């Protein structure tokens, strides 16, 4: 007993140090585990609120580039709208409009980025929308140029997004000109380049082909832009491709959170099959 007390006396700082290090390691391991990364998150009222204050100031520095991006997106949407309005005048006008055929599948919520990291192996983005705005976990986050990530931790007013630049990120993606699909991952090296794996060998691929989201998951709508093929790694076993992103992940500001309206329905259907 005497020995034991003496031991604790002698190594009290070391034991205290070990205890705290274990706590830190525990947080680190949990953060690298997709469904458990909730302990240390910037999506809380203190850090979220402070980021809100600093964003209000730093917003002014890139107003110009963000404006140009929004105008470009507006132009594309206006052109798309023009296509539909001109159809009304043509002779091929559809006389019967069955509203059941036009069921809306997704709604978009606009959001602003409060904090964005892209230089770590596991990157996260903080947005200014939360439970109060109807945001939940596992929703897609996109902008006009392509995909950004998936929401993964939500508080009342803020949501943390797992960026596509995260080693845990796995997104279903396919070629635009065919239906061959694969898994989009990131190797942690360059924030402009992501990797597409497990594309079937018979797929005709060449450098410059466009990659879009596959729509095989309930999170992302089909056809959201991702990037173009930059390099085909023929020597690797799993047929991986280097994809150059359309988005400059270091310069994003305004994004949209996508709510999949029939997600619950698909999930219950899948569960029914599994049982």
Partner 1 sequence: MNKALYITFLFLFLLFLQVFLLNNILFLGYINPYLYVAFVIFYPLKKERYLFLFLSFLLGLSIDFFSDSGGINAFSLLFIAYLRLFLIRVIFKKTEQDYLLFNLDQEPFGKVFNYVISLILIHHFILFSLANFSTQNFLSVIVNTLYSSIFTSVLFFLGTYIIRKKK
Q: Which letter does DSSP use for residue 21 in this model? A: H
Q: CA-based diameter of the chain, in Å?
A: 99
Q: Are 163 and 173 in contact (CB under 8 A)?
A: no
Between 144 and 167, name the residue whose CB sits nearer to partner 1. Answer: 167
Q: Which letter does DSSP use for residue 119 in this model? A: S
Q: Give which of 201, 213, 199, 200 is closest to 245, Cα–Cα.
A: 213
Which residues fall within 8 angstroms of residue 216, CB to CB, at 6 or more apart?
172, 181
Between 121 and 223, name the residue whose CB sits nearer to partner 1. Answer: 121
The answer to whether 66 contacts partner 1 (rule: CB under 8 A) is no
Q: What are phi and psi of 52, to 5 degrees?
A: -60, -45
Q: Are 160 and 126 in contact (CB under 8 A)?
A: yes
Which segment (43-51, 86-94, 98-106, 262-270) binds partner 1 by CB under 8 A? 43-51
* DSSP-H helix ranges across 161-259: none
**Nearest approach, Cβ of residue 114 and partner 1 (Å):** 11
Which residue in the set 144, 167, 230, 259 belongs to the binding site for partner 1 (CB under 8 A)? 167
Site for partner 1 in 184-203 (CB under 8 A): 187-189, 191
Which residue in the set 8, 40, 71, 105 belongs to the binding site for partner 1 (CB under 8 A)? 40
Which segment (42-50, 221-229, 234-242, 259-267) binds partner 1 by CB under 8 A? 42-50
The answer to whether 102 contacts partner 1 (rule: CB under 8 A) is no
Q: Which residues bind partner 1 (CB under 8 A)?
A: 13-14, 16-17, 20-21, 23-32, 37, 40-42, 44, 46-47, 50-51, 54, 115, 117, 119-122, 124, 126, 160, 167, 187-189, 191, 250
């Amino acid at each position: 007993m005497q020995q034991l007390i003496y031991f604790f006396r002698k190594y009290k700082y070391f034991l205290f140090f070990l205890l705290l290090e274990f706590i830190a390691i525990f947080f680190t391991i949990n953060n690298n585990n997709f469904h458990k990364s909730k302990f240390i998150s910037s999506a809380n009222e203190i850090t979220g609120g402070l980021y809100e204050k600093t964003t209000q100031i730093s917003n002014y520095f890139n107003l110009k580039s963000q404006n140009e991006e929004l105008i470009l997106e507006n132009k594309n949407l206006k052109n798309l709208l023009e296509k539909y309005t001109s159809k009304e005048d043509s002779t091929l006008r559809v006389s019967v409009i069955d509203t059941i055929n036009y069921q809306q599948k997704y709604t978009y919520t606009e959001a602003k980025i409060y904090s964005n990291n892209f230089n770590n192996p596991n990157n996260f983005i903080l947005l200014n929308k939360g439970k109060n705005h109807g945001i939940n976990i596992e929703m897609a986050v996109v902008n006009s140029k392509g995909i950004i990530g998936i929401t993964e931790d939500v508080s009342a007013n803020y949501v943390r997004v797992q960026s596509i630049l995260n080693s845990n990120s796995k997104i279903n993606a396919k070629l635009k000109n065919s239906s061959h699909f694969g898994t989009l991952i990131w190797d942690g090296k360059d924030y402009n380049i992501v990797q597409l794996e497990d594309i079937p060998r018979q797929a005709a691929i060449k450098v410059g082909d466009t990659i879009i989201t596959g729509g095989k998951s309930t999170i992302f709508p089909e056809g959201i832009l991702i990037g173009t093929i930059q390099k085909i790694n023929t020597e690797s076993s799993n047929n991986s491709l280097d994809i150059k992103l359309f988005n400059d992940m270091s310069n994003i500001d305004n994004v949209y959170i996508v709510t999949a309206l029939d997600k619950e329905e698909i999930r219950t259907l899948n569960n029914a099959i599994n049982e």
